[in-house]
Chains A and B, each alone.
Chain A
């Protein structure tokens, strides 16, 4: 019996399996990955075991390890951040705010940022984490 596959006749047929694999990889990355805008400075979120849902909140505040702040991906100073937040909350009161803070940042610094957010009128906020790898 002859189990040898027939020899491909030309170049096109020779690379068809390669194209198949590449297409499959492409479709996997399109479906499984999520396109997100890059952060202006690296933020490694803390890992947690809670399974709170992540909703697309309109306002995201970033806090870096060294206390750098950003509002919706734009690096800002503290005064500009609070002014921007007040403006948003005046336009739409009760807007939920996401806080994306670095897991290695000192917790007291995060709490200080939270106090400032409270002064700007934020009542509830969501602290973003990533799922713990099990």
Chain B
């Protein structure tokens, strides 16, 4: 009974014998795996911003004692005054030093996209705001 050849033959006397399994199918499989992982994996660096769920404001009760930041296409307004982003951050930081738990309401205007709003929310988070809520103007008013 002849001895079956070993699966992978080690080099003998500096010479390599022909292996039973050739490398070509292995390479095929590895290539297919490589292409699968290249296409299926995502390299996005996800972050998250904690927000309070918006509540439809009824009257002015929930607005009291809160900072209102309006995001408009032409700029940012804090309590009705237009501000540069740096001034907004400084002003919010100062107010939060007085009351660290103050609510900050962010109200994007009509036509502002989420990216602009997130930029302002970023500024507010950098200024230390932890209790942020996105709201919108009541229907019918601009």
Interface residues of A (CB under 8 A from B): 9-10, 12-13, 15, 18-19, 22-23, 25-26, 29-30, 32-36, 45-55, 98, 101-108, 110-112, 114-115, 117-118, 122-131
Contact = CB atoms under 8 A, between A and B. Distances in A.
B47 A22 contact: no
B19 A115 contact: no
Contacts, number: 163
Main secondary structure of the interface of B (DSSP, over half): mixed
B27 A46 contact: no
B47 A111 contact: no
A29 B33 CA distance: 10
B44 interface: yes
Nearest to A105: B114
Contacts of B52: 123-124
B12 interface: no
Contacts of A54: 46-48
Contacts of A118: 53-56
Contacts of A124: 50-53
Interface string B2-27: 00000000000000100100110011
Given A47-B115, A107-B108, A128-B47, A33 B41 contact: yes
B113 A131 contact: no
Contacts of A117: 53
Given A48-B47, A131-B45, A25 B113 contact: no
